[in-house]
Structures are given as C-alpha cells and as structure tokens.
Structure 1
Amino acid sequence: MNWFTRPWMISLGLLVIGGLSMAWAHDPGGPLKVTVLAKSIDAWDGKPLPAYPEGQPEITILRIVIPAGSKTPLHLHTVINAGVLLQGELDVHMENGQVKKLKAGDSLIEVVEKPHWGENNGKADAEIIVFYAGIQGEKVTRELENHDHPSGL
C-alpha cells in the first residue's frame, strides 16, 4: 500500500491544507485587510449587553437616513444591535444625559431596552447601517410616546 493512500496520511494532509488556508486568510500581509470596527460585551453606555433571547434567530439590517437638523423619535431597541455611521454626524442621547457623538466611519454597539434618540446637528444627512440580532417575528425597535421625550420631541 502506498503511504499516500493510508487513511492517517490523508487526514494529516487535509489538516495541513486546512491549516495553511486558515493561516493565509488571517495573514496580516495577505491580500485581505480586516479591521475590527467594534467588539465588546458592553453597549456604548458601558453596561453589559443582555443575553440573546430564545427562539429562531433573525438578522435584520437597516439603512437609516436622519436628515440634517432632525431627530429620531424617542425609542428603545428590544434586541442587541450595532451600527456603522457611513456619512454625516449623529449624537445619540439617553434620558440620563449621556451622549455618544458619532462621525462618519464610527461604529456603535447600541443600548438595549433603554430609551434614547438620535440627533443630527450636522449640515448633511446622517446615514447609518444597523445590524439587529433578533427573533423571527419580533420587533427590533419600539417607538415611545412623544410626551415621554425629554427634549419635548
């Protein structure tokens, strides 16, 4: 029997090939450029993220445009979500007075089950892509009553 046809040699060969392909994919000198935009167990307010809910996972990706000089309604997110501001400026406010200021290229790990709103004080539209890790059939955002908005929105 040829040593190339032995089962352990085939397994070893596959392991080596797999290892080389993984090394190539993560090689800092390779053709891919990977930048971690955000990685945390905490939301932007410094508090830990909640556990994922039970049920069939459903990922939602939204592109949201907030016109210059406008605000989002007071709202909260029911699931873990994160976004990247593609263009413009955005200030994210919480009722306790905390503010997170974003500029184009910044990422944000959002707060969950905490009322907040976004405000675009810039001269151009703010455009953000947001990724929600939710449960099939459940809403990812809940708008709150306007009279509850601290700034009277």
Structure 2
Amino acid sequence: MPTARKRSFSALLVLLVPLAMPVHAQTVSSAHADILVKSDSSWNGKAYTAYPNGRPQLTVLKMTLPARTALPWHIHPMPNAGYVLSGQLTIEDRATGKKQTFHTGQAFTESVNDVHRGISGDQPTVLIITYAGTPGEPTSVPVKGEKPEY
C-alpha cells in the first residue's frame, strides 16, 4: 500500500474506532423532576372513579389548535391529563358553563364523560395530552351532531 494511502487509512481508523467503542456515562446521578399535575379529580372538580377495564393502553398526543378556535363538544371516556407547550387553552364545561384557562407551562386534568370543549386564545395552542385507556377505546367521542375533536 503506498504511504499516502496508509496515512489516509490510519487517519480514518483513528476517527472510526471511537465510534465502535461503547459509550459509558461519566457520572451517575438522579434527575430532577417537577410534578406538573397530580390529582384524583378533573379541572372542574369531578372525582375520578375508575380506570377503564381491560389491558391498559397509554396514548400521548401532540395537539395543535389554530388561534381563536373552539373545538367541537366532546367527552373523554377515560382519565387524561394535558400540558400546554405554547399558547393557552380555556376548557369549558357545557352543563355548568364553568371555564378555566391554562397557559404555557401549565398542566391540567380533563373530565371523564362530561361534555366539554377547548378554546384557544389569540395565538396557536400546542398541547401534549396523555390518555389512560384500553386498546380499541377512542380517546375522544364527539357529541351527537358534532365533528370529531381531531
């Protein structure tokens, strides 16, 4: 092998060998965790009574609502919690008219089997929502005559 090719090959080995070696953590330490929401009831004060029966299935959604948009009226047949990544979300309960607004960085718990909807503010709203359901069960059910929530 000519000398120039040997040097190029050696340089390539020097660059690639560290990539083939296992990576080891330099420090072992615990992480910091902030509890964003912990509740046995929904935002409107209704207690959670039970999880759905059957094998658990978690679903995590990233939902984006355009500015000044009201979602269709719907229910959730399972407990769920959301986090506002950006914007704001006002949740409105249809039966009582009760409303509560959640802003960027806030978490909330949603109601189970109560008709409600979310309304975004003057900016688009981005949410992360986690549902604790079972396989085959919808995470959101539109009220008769309404479009699906998503």
TM-score w.r.t. the length of structure 2 is 0.74
- Contact kept in structure 1, 2:87 and 2:121, CA below 8 Å: no
Corresponding residue SS for 1:117: strand
Cα displacement string for residues 86-143 of structure 1 (whole angstroms, at most 9, x for unaligned residues)? 0001111001111110110110110000000011122x21000000000111111101
Name the CA distance, whole Å, in 2 between partners of 1:75 and 1:51. Answer: 20
- Contact kept in structure 2, 1:85 and 1:103, CA below 8 Å: yes
TM-score w.r.t. the length of structure 1 is 0.73
Q: What is the correspondence of 1:64-143 to structure 2 with a 5 Å cutoff? A: 64-95=63-94, 96-122=96-122, 124-143=123-142
Name the CA distance, whole Å, in 1 between partners of 2:139 and 2:89. Answer: 20
Taking every aligned residue pair, what percent have the same amino acid on both sides? 31
Tell which structure's C-alpha radius of gyration is larger.
Answer: 2
- Contact kept in structure 2, 1:59 and 1:133, CA below 8 Å: yes
Tell me the amino acid that sits aligned with residue 116 of structure 2: H
Name the CA distance, whole Å, in 2 between partners of 1:53 and 1:69. Answer: 33
Q: Which runs of 5+ in 2 are unaligned?
A: 1-27
Cα displacement string for residues 33-57 of structure 1 (whole angstroms, at most 9, x for unaligned residues)? 2100000111111121120121111
Name the CA distance, whole Å, in 1 between partners of 2:32 and 2:130. Answer: 21
Name the CA distance, whole Å, in 2 between partners of 1:84 and 1:78. Answer: 19
Distance 1:121 1:146, change over 3 A: farther
Tell me the amino acid that sits aligned with residue 56 of structure 1: R
- Contact kept in structure 2, 1:50 and 1:112, CA below 8 Å: no
Tell me the amino acid that sits aligned with residue 111 of structure 1: S
Q: CA RMSD in A?
A: 1.5
Partner of 2:41: 42
- Contact kept in structure 1, 2:56 and 2:135, CA below 8 Å: yes
Moved over 4 A (4+): none
Give 1:78 deviation, angstroms.
Answer: 0.5
Q: 1 or 2, which has the higher helix percentage?
A: 1
